C-alpha cells in the first residue's frame, strides 16, 4: 500500500502514537487479542453442531471429528437420541463459555480504552495548563474543550468499538469461510456469488460515512465554541437585545451539524438493506443448489448459519472502520495540542529562598503577534522596596509589562532581570510565588470563598485567611454571607459584586506574602468607602516590597517613588509626580485632563 493510500485510509503514524498510551496496559491488550482469536475460533462451532444434530435427526451418517467425539463421550451419531442429548448438553456448556469470553472481551477492551482516555486527558490538560497565554488569546475555549472531552472520547472507540473488535470480526469471517470450504468448497463458492456486490457496497458506505463524520466532528467543535462563548457572555447578549441575532447564528451552525448527521443516516439507510438483500440472494442460491443436487438438510441449515455469521460482522465492520478513522482524526487534533511548541518554558532551575525585588528591563521588545510590537525598547530599573507606577492610555503596554514579568508571555528581544538574574533562568514556580498580583478583571472559580482565596493550597490555614481578611477590612463582609468563608461564589463569582471579587483577590495576594506586588487597577471597581478601607492595608502591604501599580486614576499614585509614562508601547517620561508635573509633558497633560473631568463632574 502506497503512502498516499495509507493516508487516505487512516493516518498510521497517528494510530501508532495512540498506541504509545497503551504501553502501561500491555497485559490487557494482549489478553484482548487472545480473546479475539478465541471468539473467532468459536464462531463456526455452533453451526457445525446444529448440522450434526439435524443429520442425526434425519438419520444421515456424518463424520464426527475426533476432538468433538471426545467432548461427546464417544457417543455414536447412529444412537440418535443419545447423540442429540450429548450435542445439546455440549452446546449449552459451550454457550456459557463463549458468553463468558465475549463478556470479558468487551469489558477488557472498554476498560483499556477508558484507561487510555484517562491518561490522554490528563496529558492534554497538563499541556493546556502549560500553554502560553498567547494560545488562549487566539483559540476559542470551546475548541480546547472539544479537544479535551469529545475528541479524546472518540479515541476510546478505537479500542472498545474499533480496532480489536475488527480483528475479532475479520478472524471470525476467515475461520468461518475456511470451515465452509472444508465442509464443501463447491457449495461455498456458489453461496458467495453475490459477495463482490457486498464488498463494493461496503467500500462506498465506508467512504460516505467517513466524510459525513468528519463534517459532524467539525460541526460539534463549532457548536461547543459558540455555546461556550455565548453562555459566558450572556449578560452582553441580553443587555444589547441580541438574542435573536445570536439565535440565528446558532441555528445556522446547528443546521450544519444536522445535515452532516443526515448524510450519515442516509448512508446507513441504504447500506443495511443492501446487506439484507445480498444475504437473501446468497441463501436463495444456496437453497436452489442444495435442492438441485439433493444434498442433506443439515448442510443447508449449517450453511445458512455460516452465511449469517459472515454477513453479520460485515454489516458493522465498515462502521467500525469509520470509528477507527474518527478516532484517528480526533487523535490528530489532540496531538496538535500536545505538539504545540508555544508553551511556557520550564528550563529555569534557579529557585532562591527569597528575592530582594530588584527589577531591570533591558531593551525589551515584545509582540503578541510577531509582526506588531506592543512594547518597543523598554528600559527601566526598580530598586528593592520601591513603588513604581505605570500610567498611559489604554493599549499603551502597561499590562503587557507585568505579564512579561510573570513569564506569561515570552519576549522577542532584550532581557528582564530579577535580582540580576534573567527571569528565564528562574524555576517558574519559584518566580511566580515571589510575585503577588491583583488584577482589574478578577476571575473566581466555582467553589467557596475559602477555596478561591487559598486556591486550594493546603499549606494556608483558615486562621491565616481570617487574619488577612481582617487586615483588609473584609472579614465582616464575608461573615455576612450565608456560610461565611464556605459560601459558594458560583461560576466566575457571579454571586458577588465586582468590587467584592476584587477584595477577595486582594486577600489572595496578601496570603502569599510576595516579595513583589503588582496592582493592576486594583481599586478601580471599589467604591470610595471600600477604597478608604483598604488604602491603609495597601500602604502596609507595599511597605518594604517592590511594588508595581497600574492606575488610570492618577490621584492613586502620587506617593509612587517613580512614575513611568507609556504611550504606544514606548516610554515617554519617567520621574516622580512632582517632577513630571513640572516637566509639563505627557504626564502633565494626562493629569490636567483627569482634573478637568473631575471638576466638570463635580460641577454637574
pTM: 0.65
Cβ-Cβ contacts under 8 Å for 508 (sequence gap 6 or more): 438, 452, 453, 454, 455
> Can you tell me the distance from the alpha carbon of 169 to that of 163, in angstroms, rounded to the nearest whole number?
10
Q: Is 491 left (phi over 0), alpha (psi -120 to 50) or beta?
A: beta
Higher pLDDT, 69 or 594: 69
**Nearest CA among 527, 548, 502 for reference residue 388:** 548
Residue 5: pLDDT band by 50, 70, 90 thresholds? Answer: very low
pLDDT number for residue 463: 84
Q: What is the CA radius of gyration of the chain?
A: 36
- pLDDT, tens digit, 9 for 90 and up, residues 384-437: 888 898 888 777 888 888 888 888 888 888 999 998 899 888 888 888 888 888
Q: For the chain, what is the mean pLDDT?
A: 79
- pLDDT, tens digit, 9 for 90 and up, residues 161-196: 777 888 888 888 899 999 889 888 888 898 888 888
- pLDDT, tens digit, 9 for 90 and up, residues 303-346: 888 888 888 887 777 677 777 777 777 887 788 778 777 666 66
pLDDT number for residue 8: 46
> Can you tell me the distance from the alpha carbon of 122 to that of 141, in angstroms, rounded to the nearest whole number?
17
First to last CA, the chain: 81
pLDDT number for residue 361: 92
For residues 117-142, average pLDDT: 75
Higher pLDDT, 344 or 477: 477
- pLDDT, tens digit, 9 for 90 and up, residues 517-538: 888 765 555 556 556 655 665 6
pLDDT number for residue 490: 72
Is residue 134 within 8 Å of residue 178, measured between CB atoms? no
Strand partners, 565: 391, 573
Residue 149: pLDDT band by 50, 70, 90 thresholds? Answer: confident
Q: Does the pLDDT of residue 603 top 70, yes or no?
A: no
Give me the numbers of helices (H) and strands (E) for the chain, helices first please.
24, 10
Cβ-Cβ contacts under 8 Å for 83 (sequence gap 6 or more): 52, 56, 72, 75, 76, 77
The edge-to-edge listing of strands for the beta sheet with 546-550 is 435-438, 516-520, 546-550, 387-392, 562-567, 570-575
Residue 9: pLDDT band by 50, 70, 90 thresholds? Answer: very low
Q: Does the pLDDT of residue 128 top 70, yes or no?
A: yes
CA–CA distances in Å: residue 380 to residues 356, 359, 367, 396: 17, 8, 19, 16
Q: Which residue has the cell 492534554?
A: 124
Q: What is the CATH number of domain 3-338?
A: 1.20.1560.10
Cβ-Cβ contacts under 8 Å for 119 (sequence gap 6 or more): 21, 24
The set of cell numbers assigned to 238 is: 441580553
Q: Does domain 359-603 have CATH number 3.40.50.300?
A: yes
Residue 215: exposure state from Cβ atoms within 10 A (0-12, 13-18, ≥19): middle
Residue 365: exposure state from Cβ atoms within 10 A (0-12, 13-18, ≥19): middle
Residue 567: pLDDT band by 50, 70, 90 thresholds? Answer: confident
Domain ranges of the chain: 3-338, 359-603
Residue 602: pLDDT band by 50, 70, 90 thresholds? Answer: very low
- pLDDT, tens digit, 9 for 90 and up, residues 500-512: 777 777 777 777 7
Backbone torsions φ then ψ of 386, nearest 5 degrees: -75, 150
Same fold, 3-338 and 359-603: no
pLDDT number for residue 100: 94
> Can you tell me the distance from the alpha carbon of 82 to that of 412, in angstroms, rounded to the nearest whole number?
88
pLDDT number for residue 99: 93
For residues 349-365, average pLDDT: 88
Q: Does the pLDDT of residue 604 top 60, yes or no?
A: no
- pLDDT above 90 covers what percent of the chain? 4
Q: Does the pLDDT of residue 215 top 50, yes or no?
A: yes
- pLDDT, tens digit, 9 for 90 and up, residues 226-243: 877 777 677 677 776 777
pLDDT number for residue 103: 92
- pLDDT above 70 covers what percent of the chain? 84
pLDDT number for residue 6: 45
Is residue 565 within 8 Å of residue 572, measured between CB atoms? yes
Amino acid at each position: 500500500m502506497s503512502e498516499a493510500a495509507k493516508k487516505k485510509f487512516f493516518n498510521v503514524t497517528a494510530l501508532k502514537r495512540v498506541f504509545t498510551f497503551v504501553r502501561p496496559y500491555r497485559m490487557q491488550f494482549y489478553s484482548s487479542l487472545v480473546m479475539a482469536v478465541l471468539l473467532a475460533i468459536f464462531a463456526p462451532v455452533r453451526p457445525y453442531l446444529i448440522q450434526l444434530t439435524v443429520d442425526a435427526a434425519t438419520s444421515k451418517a456424518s463424520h464426527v471429528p475426533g476432538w468433538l467425539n471426545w467432548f461427546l463421550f464417544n457417543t455414536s451419531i447412529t444412537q440418535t437420541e443419545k447423540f442429540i442429548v450429548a450435542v445439546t448438553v455440549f452446546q449449552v456448556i459451550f454457550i456459557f463459555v463463549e458468553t463468558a469470553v465475549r463478556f470479558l472481551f468487551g469489558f477488557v477492551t472498554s476498560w483499556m480504552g477508558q484507561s487510555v482516555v484517562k491518561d490522554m486527558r490528563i496529558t492534554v490538560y497538563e499541556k493546556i495548563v502549560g500553554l502560553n497565554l498567547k494560545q488562549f488569546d487566539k483559540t476559542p475555549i470551546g475548541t480546547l474543550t472539544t479537544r479535551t472531552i469529545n475528541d479524546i472520547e472518540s479515541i476510546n472507540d478505537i479500542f472498545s468499538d474499533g480496532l480489536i473488535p475488527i480483528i475479532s470480526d475479520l478472524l471470525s469471517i476467515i475461520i468461518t469461510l475456511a470451515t465452509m470450504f472444508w465442509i464443501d468448497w463447491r457449495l461455498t463458492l456458489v453461496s458467495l456469488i453475490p459477495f463482490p456486490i457486498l464488498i463494493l457496497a461496503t467500500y462506498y458506505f465506508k467512504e460516505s460515512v467517513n466524510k459525513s463524520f468528519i463534517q459532524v466532528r467539525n460541526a460539534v467543535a463549532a457548536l461547543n465554541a459558540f455555546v461556550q462563548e455565548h453562555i459566558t457572555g450572556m449578560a452582553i447578549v441580553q443587555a444589547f437585545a441580541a438574542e435573536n441575532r445570536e439565535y440565528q447564528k446558532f441555528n445556522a451552525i446547528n443546521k450544519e451539524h444536522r445535515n452532516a448527521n443526515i448524510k450519515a443516516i442516509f448512508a446507513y439507510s441504504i447500506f443495511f438493506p443492501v446487506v439484507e438483500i445480498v444475504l437473501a440472494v446468497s441463501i436463495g442460491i444456496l437453497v436452489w443448489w442444495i435442492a438441485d443436487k439433493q444434498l442433506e438438510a443439515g448442510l443447508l441449515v449449517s450453511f445458512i448459519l455460516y452465511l449469517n455469521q459472515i454477513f453479520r460482522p460485515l454489516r458493522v465492520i465498515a462502521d467500525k472502520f469509520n470509528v477507527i478513522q474518527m478516532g484517528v482524526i480526533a487523535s490528530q487534533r489532540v496531538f496538535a495540542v500536545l505538539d504545540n511548541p508555544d508553551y511556557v518554558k520550564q528550563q529555569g532551575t534557579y529557585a532562591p529562598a527569597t528575592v530582594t525585588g530588584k527589577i531591570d528591563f533591558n531593551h525589551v521588545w515584545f509582540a503578541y503577534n510577531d509582526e506588531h510590537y506592543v512594547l518597543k525598547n523598554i528600559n527601566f530599573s526598580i530598586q528593592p522596596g520601591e513603588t513604581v507606577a505605570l500610567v498611559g492610555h489604554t493599549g499603551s503596554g502597561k499590562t503587557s509589562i507585568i505579564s512579561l514579568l510573570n513569564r506569561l508571555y515570552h519576549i522577542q528581544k532584550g532581557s528582564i532581570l530579577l535580582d540580576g538574574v534573567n527571569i528565564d533562568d528562574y524555576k517558574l514556580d519559584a518566580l511566580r510565588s515571589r510575585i503577588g498580583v491583583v488584577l482589574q478583571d478578577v476571575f473566581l472559580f466555582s467553589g467557596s470563598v475559602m477555596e478561591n482565596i487559598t486556591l486550594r493550597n493546603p499549606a494556608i490555614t483558615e486562621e491565616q485567611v481570617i487574619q488577612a481578611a481582617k487586615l483588609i477590612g473584609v472579614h465582616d463582609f464575608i461573615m455576612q454571607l450565608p456560610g461565611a468563608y464556605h459560601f459558594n461564589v458560583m461560576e466566575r463569582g457571579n454571586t458577588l459584586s465586582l468590587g467584592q471579587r476584587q477584595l477577595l483577590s486582594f486577600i489572595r495576594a496578601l496570603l502569599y506574602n510576595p516579595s513583589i506586588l503588582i496592582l493592576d487597577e486594583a481599586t478601580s471597581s471599589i467604591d470610595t468607602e471600600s477604597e478608604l478601607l483598604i488604602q491603609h492595608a495597601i500602604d502596609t502591604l507595599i511597605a518594604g516590597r517592590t511594588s508595581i501599580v497600574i492606575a488610570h486614576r492618577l490621584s492613586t499614585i502620587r506617593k509612587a517613588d517613580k512614575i513611568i509614562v507609556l504611550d504606544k508601547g514606548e516610554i515617554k517620561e519617567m520621574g516622580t509626580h512632582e517632577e513630571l508635573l513640572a516637566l509639563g509633558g505627557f504626564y502633565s497633560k494626562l493629569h490636567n485632563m483627569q482634573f478637568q473631568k473631575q471638576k466638570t463632574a463635580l460641577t454637574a
